[in-house]
Amino acid sequence: MARLNVNGAVRDFEAEGDTPLLWVLREQLGLTGTKYGCGIAACGACTVHIDGVPTRSCVRPVSTVGPNEKIVTIEGLSPDGSHPVQKAWVALDVPQCGYCQCGMVMAATALLRDKPQPTDRDIDEAITNICRCGTYNRIRAAIKVVAAGGNTKTAGLAIQHTDGSTT
Ligand code: FES
Ligand code: FES
């Protein structure tokens, strides 16, 4: 029996020590928001925070995560999708297929916590996740909306939605 601190709760589980954290989160603890994409730390779909640090959980052996290190997954970001990053993602219709987006949101959240007004270069350096649908421009725009306090007009963006409306 081993123990993790996930989304503010102590969770017990059983797994071999070299099991990637991703699989403990998904299969033992039922937190399936965190996705498997590549398994080699290349795509970022599996990004969670460990003590605030965005971490690719597919290559992190669970035995290397201490019981007092605080893991936050997409499920722990907010109880109702009300985190400013999540709200900006919705406002700008960022996801396409959605598969990469939980990892993107976790990476963006860490960036905006450390740099509330990120430059394009900051965004390029922090968001190294891969999106097969090519939502990179909307991700960049959503990050700028959060930096502008959630206001798309203040962010200097004119977003045309699929229903024809603009914000
Ligand atoms: S699944 Fe972990 S980086 Fe791709
Ligand atoms: S939205 Fe489809 S992979 Fe990113």
Domain residue limits at 27: 2-76
Mean pLDDT, the chain, integer: 94
The percent of residues in the chain predicted with pLDDT above 90, rounded, is 88
Q: What is the band of 14 on the pLDDT scale with cuts at 50, 70, 90? A: very high
In the listed set 44, 76, 108, which residue is the last one of a domain according to the structure? Answer: 76
Q: Which pLDDT score is estimated for 167?
A: 60
Asked if the structure places residue 126 within a domain, the reply is: yes
CA 150/CA 167 separation, integer angstroms: 11
- Nearest ligand to the CA of 97 is 2
Asked if the structure places residue 53 within a domain, the reply is: yes
Is the domain of 68 the same as that of 42?
yes
Asked if the structure places residue 163 within a domain, the reply is: no
Answer whether 0.95 is exceeded by the pTM: no
22 phi/psi in degrees, rounded to 5 = -50, -45
- Nearest ligand to the CA of 105 is 2
Q: What is the band of 12 on the pLDDT scale with cuts at 50, 70, 90? A: very high
Of 65, 30, 29, 70, the C-alpha closest to 49 is 70
Is the domain of 57 the same as that of 100?
no
Is the separation of the CB atoms in 72 and 48 below 8 Å?
A: yes
- Residues with CB under 6 Å of ligand 1 are 36-39, 41-46, 56, 58
Is the separation of the CB atoms in 86 and 78 below 8 Å?
A: yes
* Alpha carbon nearest to ligand 1 atom 3, residue: 41
In the listed set 46, 76, 106, which residue is the last one of a domain according to the structure? Answer: 76
More confident residue, 103 or 158: 103
| Total count of domains within the chain | 2
